[in-house]
Amino acid sequence: MNGAREYAGIFNTGQFGKLYFVCGSHARGKTFHVYVLPDGEDAIIRHHGNPPSNKDAVEVYGMLGGQNGWTEYYGWKHHGPWEKDFIELVAVRKAKIESIEKDKQVSIKEKNDVEKERVSGLLKRY
């Protein structure tokens, strides 16, 4: 959904420092929530894909409005220093994804070059 698709597509549900991300989906699109965890606490997870059960965890990014499952849109519910940390995590994750994609493309090109060389050699020897 609007504001969730990009982030849910690059992260998995889990803890990132003091932040806990919940990535999900439903029939109409992706969902994405960010929680700030209490100091020194790891996320308490009762069921994968659910918010952390920590007593003092606060949802700082999530659904702001719209009809749930149809027209919802996502954004920051609370502003603060966690936004900077989040932006840095997004940049690192995007760079990692880009690096993986480049490596994949290099590997595909190398395989294609080897195959072209094999075919060319076989046909020259005919």
Residue 114 lies in a domain: no
Residue 123 lies in a domain: no
Predicted TM-score (pTM) of the model is 0.79
Residue 65 lies in a domain: yes
Q: What are the pLDDT digits (tens) for 42-67?
A: 999 998 889 999 999 999 999 999 88
Quote the radius of gyration of the chain (alpha carbons, Å): 21
Q: What are the pLDDT digits (tens) for 94-126?
A: 999 999 998 889 889 899 989 999 999 899 988
Residue 66 lies in a domain: yes
Domain count, the chain: 1
Residue 91 lies in a domain: yes
Residue 12 lies in a domain: yes
Residue 100 lies in a domain: no
Residue-range definition of the domain harbouring residue 84? 5-95
| Strands 29-36 and 19-26, sheet pairing | antiparallel
Residue 126 lies in a domain: no
DSSP letters, 63-77, are EEES-TTTT-EEEES
